[in-house]
Amino acid sequence: MKQGYFITGTDTNAGKTCATIALMRYFKQQGKTIVGMKPVASGGIVEKGGLKNEDALLIQKNASLPLEYPLINPYLYELPVSPHIAGENNPVKLSEIIIHYDILKKLSDIILVEGAGGWLSPLNASQDNSDLAKALALPVILIVGVRLGCINHAKLTYQSIRHSGLTCAGWIAVCLDPTMLKVDDNINTLKEALSIPLLGVLPYLEHLDFDLLAEHICI
Ligand SMILES: Nc1ncnc2c1ncn2[C@@H]1O[C@H](COP(=O)(O)OP(=O)(O)O)[C@@H](O)[C@H]1O
Ligand SMILES: [Mg+2]
């Protein structure tokens, strides 16, 4: 691995997965090999007889090489509820995630790790996504789901990432709401509030096209 990033967001449903897949396509277009990981997920679909999570499946499908599903997603809880509640009987162990991560990171130029929920969303009784990012010692990319209220969420998350001591490599705006007014003004406000590079503004697309979204990324 030459580079890895931890992908966090202003919230659940902020556009983390869409941005992660767009980033995977972007790095591939740059001639790099890429793998990804969704270490903790809640909620799944039954596919080929087993429970799978849709984010992890997308990451698996977009990797540069075939990867075993459990390597990408070691913790999958059936119920779509917070992992610290869903995982009472099989709690997340960061040490286990690190074992998977250490195998995956050797396989490609770039590795992306998508968090679960937001930056301080709990993973088990005592640890959250920020603890996982610290354990992996990865720079963070902040995905801002652009909708009403996102400035507050973005500033709080950014402050907390800085407080963790990790590098915030940049942020990506994901336009989620086609009815939102003054999107450009909001993005300009965010640019001033977040003193890190804006790596892309992903437009709202009625039909998702990750290659098209990748064209809006510049790292
Ligand atoms: N650029 C986009 N255009 C339209 N819809 C989007 C876009 N990015 C994300 N979405 C939609 O927003 C929702 C949340 O996105 P997702 O990437 O799954 O968020 P997260 O991974 O943070 O939970 C999904 O329904 C997704 O299809
Ligand atoms: Mg996701």
pLDDT at position 2: 86
User: Among the listed ranges 43-57, 110-124, 180-194, 201-215, which one has the minimum average pLDDT value?
Assistant: 43-57
Q: What percent of the chain has pLDDT over 70?
A: 100
Q: Is residue 219 part of a domain?
A: no
Q: What is the CATH number of the domain that holds 30?
A: 3.40.50.300
Contacts of 124 (CB under 8 A, 6+ apart): 83, 84, 87, 91, 92, 93
Establish whether residue 174 lines the binding site of ligand 1, counting it when its CB lies within 6 angstroms of any ligand atom: yes
* Residue 111: HSE in the Cβ half-sphere, 13 Å Cα cutoff: 24
Q: Is residue 193 part of a domain?
A: yes
What range does the domain containing 208 cover? 3-214
Residue nearest (by alpha carbon) to ligand 1 atom 23: 13
* Mean pLDDT calculated for residue range 28-46: 96
Q: Is residue 78 part of a domain?
A: yes
From the CA of 183, the nearest ligand is 1
Q: Is residue 70 part of a domain?
A: yes
* Mean pLDDT calculated for residue range 38-46: 95
Contact 17, 55 (CB under 8 A): yes
Is the pLDDT at 49 greater than 90? The verdict is no
C-alpha–C-alpha distance, residues 144 and 172, integer Å: 6
Tens digits of residue pLDDT in 73-123: 999 999 999 999 999 999 999 999 999 999 999 999 999 999 999 999 999
Q: How far is the CA of 19 from the centre of ligand 2 (A)?
A: 9
* Mean pLDDT calculated for residue range 26-55: 95
pTM recorded for the entire structure: 0.98
Mutate to test the pocket of ligand 1, among 6, 16, 142, 174 (most ligand atoms within 8 A of CB): 174
Is the pLDDT at 1 greater than 80? The verdict is no
Domain count, the chain: 1
Residue nearest (by alpha carbon) to ligand 1 atom 17: 15
Q: Is residue 118 part of a domain?
A: yes
C-alpha–C-alpha distance, residues 156 and 133, integer Å: 17
* Mean pLDDT calculated for residue range 208-219: 97
